[in-house]
Structure 1
Amino acid sequence: MATRSVIAATSVVSSAQPLAVGELAHAVGADTAWVVQLVEVGIVHVSVQDAEPAQWRFGSADLQRALEARRLERDFGVGLDAAALILDLQHEVRRLKAMLYARGLSRGD
């Protein structure tokens, strides 16, 4: 029986320690061109629109959205435009559910 080992590394992502474009690409198993596409379709955001990709920095929310976009691509074969729409709709549903919950209108669905 073969033994399989997995080595994992973790990094803290915060406003004080954002990810560079290459680090975000590596974290999601993609290349930097794919991250550029994420910015173009609005899945992740950069604070300075005119900056070169080498100067872009990403926070934990961007990492989460990039991971979700990658999963949607892999599991469902959707393009990034569709992934952007799906992620926006998911965010809106969560926001509306939270608002209903805060007003006591949620049935726990």
Structure 2
Amino acid sequence: MTTQNTPPRLTGFILEDQTELTLQDVCRACAAQVDLVIELVQEGVLTPSGSAPAQWRFTGVHMHRATVALRLQRDLGVNLAGAALALELMDEMDELRAQLHRMTGT
């Protein structure tokens, strides 16, 4: 008798630009302390809507940026200012790739 190894079923949800997450949601999802997420906002890595941490609302894009910034910090020892710069450069590369794609039609 043969047995099949079935991979575990993954569950989750898709975060979009329209998704509104609170500061606590972002902290839970990124396994980060509130102070660290506030530092990400202060460094310009994240730009939530709202005027104060209790009113901040984040999107799925913010969640992705926070995850990348925290990974850069944890895995490579990059400080938050360096992570902000790296994310800015990645955004510019994405925009240049999109422009090239539009120009070449590929």
Q: TM-score, normalised by structure 1?
A: 0.78
Q: CA RMSD in A?
A: 2.2
Corresponding residue for residue 5 of structure 2:
none
Counterpart Cα distance in 1 of 2:13 and 2:54: 19
What secondary structure sits across from 1:54 in the alignment?
coil
Equivalent pair of 1:13/1:19 in contact (CA under 8 Å) = no
Using the alignment, how far apart are the partners of 1:19 and 1:88 within structure 2?
Answer: 22
Shift of 1:12: 5.4
Gaps of 5+ in 2: 1-7
In the TM superposition, 1:69-88 aligns within 5 A as: 69-88=69-88
Name the structure 2 match of 1:33: 35
Shift of 1:11: 5.0
In the TM superposition, residue 74 of structure 1 has moved relative to its aligned partner by 1.1
Identity %: 34
Counting only pairs closer than 5 Å after superposition, residues 37-76 of structure 1 correspond to structure 2 as 37-48=39-50, 51-76=51-76
Deviation, 1:55, is 1.2
Deviation at 1:9, TM superposition (A): 6.9
Q: Which runs of no fewer than 5 residues in structure 1 stay unpaired? A: 1-5
Q: Post-superposition shift, 1:44?
A: 0.7
User: Aligned equivalents of 2:71 and 2:80: distance in 1?
Assistant: 11
Cα displacement (A) at 1:52: 2.0
Misfit runs of 4+, over 2 Å: 8-15
Alpha-carbon distance in structure 2 between the residues aligned to 1:34 and 1:9: 27
CA contact (8 A) 2:44 2:84 kept: yes
